[in-house]
Amino acid sequence: VSDDGMTYVFHLREGIPWVRWNGEEVEEVLDCEGNVRYVTAHDFEYAAKRTCNPDTASDYAYVLGFALRGCNELLEAEGW
């Protein structure tokens, strides 16, 4: 956490694949070229922005609202 409390740094482990799990078996997710798709920082950024987007109507938006600057304002501006 930065000194001003505005920046959190997460260190992601490399080589962690995305998987599909149906309760019985695990299947690695592949990209368009057939390569294993790995979790990246971009995935976390995308997820946070999608969660705070009122158009997606995420039931969990309130969880990020307190932690991400602008998330609550975006949700409130759209009538949440």
For 11-43, write each residue's pLDDT tens digit: 999 999 999 999 999 999 999 999 999 999 999
Whether the CB-CB separation of 27 and 19 falls below 8 Å is answered with yes
Please enumerate in sequence order all residues whose Cβ is within 8 A of that of 8, keeping only pairs 6 or more positions apart, or say none.
1, 2
pLDDT of 80 above 60: no
Please enumerate in sequence order all residues whose Cβ is within 8 A of that of 71, keeping only pairs 6 or more positions apart, or say none.
48, 51, 52, 61, 64, 65
Query: How much is the pTM?
Result: 0.70
SS3 31: coil
* Residue 38 structural domain: 19-77
35 domain-assigned? yes
